[in-house]
Chains A and B, each alone.
Chain A
Amino acid sequence: MDTLLSLLHGFTVAAEPSKLLFCLIGVFLGTAVGVLPGIGPALTVALLLPITFKLDPAGSLIMFAGIYYGGMYGGSTTAILLNAPGESASLATALEGSKMAKAGRGGPALATSAIGSFVAGLIATIGLAFLAPWLVEVAVKFGPWDYFALMIVAFVTVSATFGDSPLRGLTSLFLGITLGLVGIDKLTGQARLTFGVPELLNGVEVTTLAVGLFAVGEAFYVASKRFRDPEEIIPIKGSLWMTKQDWKRSWAPWLRGTAFGFPIGALPAGGAEVPTFLSYSTEKKLCKYPDEFGKGAIEGVAGPEAANNASAAGTLVPLLTLGLPTSATAAIMLAGFQQYGLNPGPLLFAEKPDLVWGLIASLFIANVMLVILNLPLIGLWVRLLAVPQPWLYAGILVFSTMGTLAVNGSPVELAQLFAFGFVGYLMRRYDYPVAPMVVGLILGPMAEQQLRRALQISLGDPMILLENPGSATLLGIAFIALVAPFVMKGLNRFKASED
């Protein structure tokens, strides 16, 4: 009952005209960047952070959430019509979606992904609204040791789930943690790793790192391989509407996709790739027309697309209740909260109920806006793909420098942006995931603080981490998640050599 009341109150906040406007801008921008290949919601929010820090916090956060949801909708359009997934979460959609488009069924493919996203987004947001208060009650009882252990879980899973190689993921994570050490230590006032450069005393800005890695790095990367064959847009032929048969074949995959996406998104294991591929393989198994798979089965679009959106809502659960980001976009959104001096977590629910519940309510509104924006306006979004790439990336670099200069006009900051951009390029080139680095920079200092607080309470005895059942369990999970990929790899090799 409390939840319903809070949610209703949230709707009164979210329905204010200014908030609706922010929401609309968010979903519009989100869809646009979702459609453009190579530009994801994480990058967009990172670019907007510096511009929005003088605006109303609630409005900006609603806009960021709209971008997140919108990016998930828009990504499917590119995946289906270009066979070029805008972000890794729509890889699975591209498999069947592009085949459907080639077979002249692009319209129904887009429709099932938009409606599926809507259904999944709605269910998952309801899940978020009801799960969050409950988790908050659990989280209130968390001690610093529990938080520390939870962050270790996030560290491990984020670096193990992003990318192909746990070694490269962990390297990226540790680079981020190292950057997090730079600056004045909050507990003793000691300067660490500043090497006498006064601009470094405040530490490395999350936005500078994020914009550098995501935006500048991406621009370098795309420029470096522009000799690829240009992608071809498959024109939408035939009706946009789904037939009765399409509806019949879509609704169950939508629900199953949601059931995969939301819990996996909500776990600190995060990532939208896992549930989308789980959903894809499940639909392939359950499908009544298995021979259609690989040639454009509508189930293969409906399921993963729903899973994708549900997991986006799922990642907001740990973000809002624990302050724990489990996807790249969530990490940047956390930086967004922090720039307003807000710390997501149980306290935020108690201190700023307007903001939290307004944000959750706005997600419902964003979903409705998105399905309206996406279906009739699909032609507009497709035309967006015709923007010349040189201008697109030139514009991204203009925005990146503008944002950095707006926060902190020093050449040192700009040089950092440039350097991180080049690092981001090299990481992409050698297949190092960049998201763990951002997570490391954000969570590293938080984890250190919690650890030191825990050890102060225990008078320096590290066993406190293992004596508390909560933290002991979490550290156990982290250990298994860390070791499992290496053991599995060893097993695979063993199998391979037996053949």
Chain B
Amino acid sequence: MMNETRKAGADKPALIVGVLLLIAAALVGYDASQQTITSNYGVGPTAVPYVVTAGLVILGLSHFVVAFREGLPVPEQADNNALLWIAGGLTFLVAWIAVGGGFTIAIAAIFACTARGMGRRAFLVDAAIGFALGLIIYLVFAKVLTLILPSGPLERLFL
């Protein structure tokens, strides 16, 4: 019986998942309640969202139950530094594309940041590899697949 009682109080991750599921349920339910068109016969566009809402509520509450019982599996210590490097690279990528910066430099950044996050210590070399890779991909897409990836000033030189 000792194994079933947790060390102290509730399992935090399970509680958080439960709360998030209830928030999702509230969003889906609210959105469905705002719909104006409903069907005369059969079921309209709101029926399934309400079912999903109910499902999410049940799952959310079940997570609360789990939180006070066995909890979620306890993960091993994560290397937050690595995660930050990759997340940073991806954030830069989204922002760079959003301001119209072009594909090649975005790829160089994501390649170098990921490799750095995974433990390589040659940022500039990796950036150069990523740059070459990005340029090759851009040109192959543009010339072979006739598909223009996001272009910045640099890419326009090659078109």
Contact = CB atoms under 8 A, between A and B. Distances in A.
A394 B94 contact: no
Contacts of A448: 48
A54 B144 CA distance: 11
B45 A219 contact: no
B79 A223 contact: yes
Contact of A223 (B63, B82, B150): B82
A241 interface: no
B157 interface: no
Contacts of A174: 21, 52, 55-56, 59
Contact of A397 (B17, B62, B79, B110): B110
B107 A388 contact: no
A406 B148 CA distance: 8
A460 interface: yes
B153 interface: no
Interface residues of B, number: 73
Contact of A181 (B52, B89, B95): B52
SS class, residues of chain A in contact with chain B: helix
A21 to B, nearest CB: 16
A448 B44 CA distance: 10
Contacts of A451: 43, 48
B91 A171 contact: no
Given A188-B45, A414-B94, A414-B97, A167 B115 contact: no
A406 B94 contact: no
How many of chain A's residues touch chain B, expressed as a range?
A: 35 or more
A188 to B, nearest CB: 5
Interface in A142-186: 167-168, 170-171, 174-175, 177-178, 181, 185
B6 interface: no
A411 B111 contact: no
A405 interface: yes
Given A192-B31, A394-B130, A398-B110, A220 B145 contact: no
A307 to B, nearest CB: 27
Contacts of A421: 90
A185 B87 contact: no
A455 B43 contact: yes
Given A460-B42, A460-B43, A394 B115 contact: yes
Interface string B77-108: 11110110111011101110110000100110
Contact of A390 (B39, B77, B87, B120): B120
Contacts of B116: 390
A497 B13 CA distance: 27
Interface string A57-76: 00000000000000000000
B10 interface: no
A405 to B, nearest CB: 5
A395 B110 CA distance: 9
Contact of B83 (A181, A195, A224, A401): A224
Nearest to B108: A398
A452 B147 contact: no
Interface in A390-411: 390-391, 393-395, 397-398, 401-402, 405-406, 409, 411
A459 interface: yes
B45 A402 contact: no
A431 B129 CA distance: 34
B61 to A, nearest CB: 11
A390 B42 contact: no
Contact of A225 (B44, B52, B79, B129): B79
Nearest to B148: A409
13 contacts: A190-B37, A224-B79, A224-B80, A224-B82, A225-B79, A390-B118, A393-B118, A394-B126, A397-B111, A409-B97, A411-B94, A411-B98, A431-B72
Top 6 A-B residue pairs of the complex, sorted by shortest distance between their CB atoms? A390-B118, A456-B42, A411-B98, A394-B114, A223-B82, A224-B78
Given A193-B31, A402-B107, A418-B93, 5 more contacts: A167-B63, A220-B87, A389-B118, A398-B110, A409-B149
